[in-house]
Structure 1
Amino acid sequence: MRFKNMCKGRLLTSDRIGLLVTLILLALGLATSNTRADNPATRVVALGGSVTEIVFALGEDHRLVARDTTSSFPEAALELPDVGYIRALSPEGVLSARPDLIISEEGAGPPDALDLLKSAQVPFVEMPQARTAEQIAQKIEAVGAALGVPGKAATLATEVSAELQATAADIAASDQPRPRVLFLLSTQGGRLMASGTDTAADAIIRLAGGDNAISTFEGYKSVTAEAIATAAPDVILMMDRAGDHASSDAELFEMPALRTTPAAQDKAVVRMDGLLLLGFGPRTAHAVRTLHSALDAAG
């Protein structure tokens, strides 16, 4: 009766939600970790597109029981239950898959949800951020370690590193000029959200032989028409996406902030799958080559 009175007519606090989650876990029998070497995890939830790609590339996808919304490759991943967007997770949704291991990209959230997941006595392993060939190899090895297959991971990391090194050498040897590339994360409502430095977009542009048109700030921020005019991008780079954040090429270059740019004059826009472009996983060498060719064609 007291518990009912506590819940009735007001929202539960984080502490009470945490208690409820713990009770649910105990009921499900998940309170004891079973990720020891003699009893590896068999019910894995992958949070983050690149993590899911790595699990599949390692041949360990039979252990996956759920994935997040960003995990859209390979196509077989879409057959797994979707526990929500990685930055807007529900602890109940993730735990309903009854995982004995959660592997996540860095940046999962919101913070309260992440705190509850980490306190749920289910092993939660967070992968390091990757924006270089060395960091991608480290991420692959970290996923392999979490799954207990370090040998497979070492082999895959070596293969991916070799592909990236060969790609970098080919781009360095090309005589293609370095275009100034403006990455737009969103154009919703005519408000342009662009990439500055220290982002995945900035890293992939440089790997593909371009220069980020904006270097005056870090991260993703709204930019003014004056800032874009100063940036004078030769090419606009966007994720190929639908919904409120999408815009056609004609709509894009009719925006006042972009209308006078070199990119608008040449109608130079490149759209790529977001996970391929920004995932920094096993397919990154392919992403770099694809972007490099697209920038060449658009310039």
Structure 2
Amino acid sequence: MLGISYWIVPIFSAVVWTAMLITMLVYWAATGRPHYVSMSEGQHIPYISDIGADVLKPMFIAMSAITVVTFDLAFIFERWLRHAGRLTPNTSVWQKVYSTLATIAAVVGAAGLILLSIFDAKRHNKLHNIFLGVFILGYIVSAIFICLEYQRLGIHYRQHSVLRISFWIKLFFIIAEIFLAIAFGVTSKKHIYNVAAILEWIVSFIFCFYVLSYFVDFLPALRTKNHQSKQTEMQLLEEGGRTNMGDGAAESQQYYRGNAATAAPYANGATNGYTNGTNGYTNGNGYSNGHTNGYTNGNVSHNNNGYPMPAEPAPLASRNF
């Protein structure tokens, strides 16, 4: 799972949802703004469900299902990335409980949207309204639990501004959706259908931005992946450089004459830089014994360690005369 570009999931979900809404509006305007069968008398602005219950119903079902299924995958991926350490890990059991409850509520909300698109407002009006409530309530509850998790994470990881940004975005969604949902219910109950329809479209577009906000949550995982890849690349280059060293090069340190006997051995056959010859020692660079320690006089005597011996005193003159 680590090779997946997780940040694409919420973006794809938001794009599909937005494309569906815009297509519906454009289709309704392009066909002369018809008054659908499911619309009430005096209603001039259709609900999303009014357009989705007509010719565009197959698209409404398909794109709604794609939106919520991919969006729910974002909850699963977020849970996995925190477990794998690619996102800031949870610091308590309650944070994991909040995350799990948020995922369950999101699945319930997804089921509500899929079912309301199937049981349309024209043929199954009562079931349609029930599933509409399940859809809205499910994702509001999910956002509440996500906010609780992020609020606790933000306390332990104050250095991560992403958590604060995501928390405030989701909190805005909760507050806006609750007020708009209440206004939608009140205007629908009082048969102010045009205002209620406008509120429904606003709620739907806000939901799009809520889905898109999960892209922000995956940004730390993207940076972590890039950092790990760069670190791995540098490590491989370093190890490769050590492997390709030539003979006579130490594996982990430069050789200096006089190192301890435990230093890395050499591959050129020399022991501690000395040869077995009688003319002294070489300079360690692979030169032959033609030169002895920089001395040009080949008759200079040397001791067993290769150092030059002091010259013998000149013999005294003979007294036999």
Q: TM-score range by the shorter chain?
A: under 0.3
**Bigger helix share:** 2
TM-score normalised per structure 2: 0.26
What TM-score, normalized by structure 1, do the two folds share? 0.28
Larger Rg over CA atoms? 2
